[in-house]
A = this chain, B = another copy of it.
Amino acid sequence: MINIKYFFKFAADILLFHGIFMKLTNTSEYALRILTYMAKDPGQLYTAKSLIEKLKISDKYLRRLMTTLSKEGFIYSIQGRDGGYSFKKQPNEIFLADVVNAVEGMDTYAGCVLGFEECSCENPCVMHSTWVKVREEFMSVFTGKTLSDLDFELAKRY
């Protein structure tokens, strides 16, 4: 899930700055943060402890998420001493959309921006075409890129 907010902000020099706030839910953020981190070195076995320390995600929340990601087939887990998590599917088989979908659940549908049930191309609301433009950009990016299609060389993080 993604949250988007617009904002206005005064810079120090009194310049009016008109920007956007667009944010995944913490849950989706965490899932992508974890998997993109693991994708840098996909062969490794990662303990919850190491992920928590490295990625600043709260202990129990991360563990619950790992269980979800495991049940969804992205990773497998090994219990007991010397246990941990590693990839089950390869990173180049995992699309960004799949990750978001998995952790957010599938009990949703493509909705009208104004919340109308009956909105469609044949019977559009006043914002239909406007919204479709935004949605299609998001769709093409998130369904078109896998975990291994990201900027691992550019990013100095982790």
Contacts and interface: CB of A to CB of B under 8 A. Distances in A.
A85 to B, nearest CB: 18
A1 B113 CA distance: 11
A151 B133 CA distance: 14
Contacts of A142: 6, 20, 134
A3 interface: yes
Nearest to A39: B126
Interface residues of A, number: 67
A106 B20 CA distance: 10
Contacts of A145: 130
Interface string A69-81: 0000000000000
A92 interface: no
B124 A133 contact: no
Nearest to A107: B7
B109 A7 contact: yes
